[in-house]
Amino acid sequence: MKKSDRDVIRISSDQVESIRLDYAKQAGQQPSEIQLKALVQDKVDEEILVREARRLLLDKGDESVRLRLISKMRALGEGAKYASEEELLQKAYDLRLDEDTIIRRHLVHKMQILLAQSDGDPAPSDDDIKKFIEQNPQPYEAASRVTFSQVFIASQSNKKALSLLRKLQTSPDSLALIETLSDPFPLGLRLTEVSESLLQRRFGQQFSKLVFAGNPGQWIGPLESPFGLHLVRVEEVSSKRSPSFEDIKPAALRSLIKVRAVMRTEENMDRLRKLYLTEVGWNFKRTDNASL
């Protein structure tokens, strides 16, 4: 049976060049051959989803599409020429104004929602969730946390920092000296239960590494951060622990549902790709879409 024109997607050499130039402009470098092929495949996938959306009449009766087309017709000065909005809409379709980028993106989004939907699949069981956690343990591990006090030196003077460090190390009640010795610090002079990742983001990787390696009750430093210099007294480091299943079940369930939706989307996208052939401008050789 002969394929209809609907089943063929053509990406011209001009379109390929436009895709290449857009990437180079945004990334500041030319795409590799693999990257260019992936970008072209994205363009093909977009066209597939738009065509399938129109085949399913997802644009018809869509308020966002209707308002966009009417707005474009009025911007062209065509609004007053037609007795009804229906005539105005039909003229917009005749003029191919539905090829508008915003409308196409809207239709792609509607198709992606459809492709991700479950066809009566059962909800994940506890066993499914536990298996998912075993395969992806890191997000569900309770992170190590540290509580520490600090003296902040805004001037970044190592000489001053070392002098203050000796004073703190020899004082019988060093904690009482913190307010007197420290410069003001926006995050406070005592930080409690701070995770390693948060400490890295705020103070830097090396700072976090040294603080977590510090012995509780001892002053260390000076430690450098984007803010300045710090003298740190670690009070407590809590090690990683495994939370209970009930504690992490809701988050794991949400993640598992998202992963399954992504897999369904890709499976359904593969099915749609097989319905189309492509002609790509770098050789104009007709190929099965799967081998683009």
For the stretch 181-212, pLDDT in tens is: 999 999 999 999 898 889 999 999 999 999 99
Report the pLDDT value the prediction gives residue 289, as an integer from 0 to 100: 56
CA-to-CA separations, 24 to 21, 108, 137, 242, 280, in angstroms, rounded:
5, 25, 38, 46, 20
> Is 243 a member of any domain?
no
Judge if 146 and 76 occupy the same domain.
no
Q: Which candidate, 279, 247, 42, places its Cα nearest to that of 139?
A: 247
CA atoms within 13 A of residue 47's CA, in its CB half-sphere? 20
DSSP state of 101: H
Which amino acid is located at 97 in the chain? L
Judge if 12 and 97 occupy the same domain.
yes
Report the pLDDT value the prediction gives residue 144, as an integer from 0 to 100: 84
Report the pLDDT value the prediction gives residue 196, as an integer from 0 to 100: 87
Provide the percentage of residues in the chain whose pLDDT is more than 90: 70
Assess contact for 220 and 97: CB atoms under 8 A. no
Q: Which domain holds residue 9?
A: 5-118+261-291
The mean per-residue pLDDT over the stretch 112-132 comes to 89
Report the pLDDT value the prediction gives residue 137, as an integer from 0 to 100: 83
Q: What is the dihedral of CA 214, 218, 220, 226, to 10 degrees?
A: 70
Judge if 153 and 92 occupy the same domain.
no
The mean per-residue pLDDT over the stretch 67-80 comes to 85
Summary mean pLDDT of the chain: 89
What band does 125 get if pLDDT is binned at 50, 70 and 90? very high
Judge if 54 and 110 occupy the same domain.
yes
Judge if 149 and 182 occupy the same domain.
yes
Report the pLDDT value the prediction gives residue 1, as an integer from 0 to 100: 41
CA-to-CA separations, 234 to 142, 211, 219, in angstroms, rounded:
20, 7, 7
Domain count, the chain: 2
> Is 33 a member of any domain?
yes
Q: 118 or 227: whose pLDDT is higher?
A: 227
Judge if 105 and 206 occupy the same domain.
no
Beta strands 8-11 and 277-280 are parallel
CATH assignment at residue 155? 3.10.50.40
Asked if residue 5 has pLDDT above 60, the reply is: no
Q: Which candidate, 131, 160, 167, places its Cα nearest to that of 245?
A: 131
> Is 186 a member of any domain?
yes
